[in-house]
Amino acid sequence: MQKFTTPYFKLISVFVIVLSLFAISCKKDKNEDTPEPTKKELLSNSWKITDIRTAEGLSVIDLNYDQIKCFKDNIFTMKTDDSFTIDEGTVVCDDSYASTGTWALIENETKIQYTPTSGDVLTITIISVDKTTLKVSYPLTDIPLPGTYTITLQKI
């Protein structure tokens, strides 16, 4: 029986080790090739409201107000072609909030400006956005508890 000390065995062993090291060092990190999404790409999704908070941090999402009830199941969709739609859910507001139009990031991408096909332009402030959650703030004055509200939306 021949021992594994022949020059061929040593040469093959060195070759296998070098080849293994080469293969390991050539693997690319997946994160290198995938750039982080832009703010517009993150926003270009369909969203549903999950929470509404007062300036004091009090959640009002479960209060028994018709306006809140009808907002809770609306679907807000922003598309990469700068269009948006607001679709009423099963609870329809007395004055429907269903709408279409265009949207744009403004003021160094800190605000979203909505321009509906009919009605007034609406501008909201972005607090944060990631792949699953969008937080915005907006001053509401024509409601029983006026003030600046933080609205949290989840990607659907």
Find, among 96, 98, 101, 97, the residue nearest to 79 by Cα.
101
Please report, for the chain, the start and end positions of each structural domain, with discontinuous segments joined by +.
39-155
| pLDDT at position 2 | 54
| pTM for this entry | 0.75
Ranges of residues in the chain with a pLDDT under 50 are: 1
44: helix, coil or strand? coil
| pLDDT at position 107 | 98
Does the structural domain 39-155 have CATH classification 2.40.128.540? yes
- 134-143's contacts with Cβ under 8 Å and 24+ in sequence apart are 134/42, 134/43, 134/47, 136/112, 143/65, 143/67
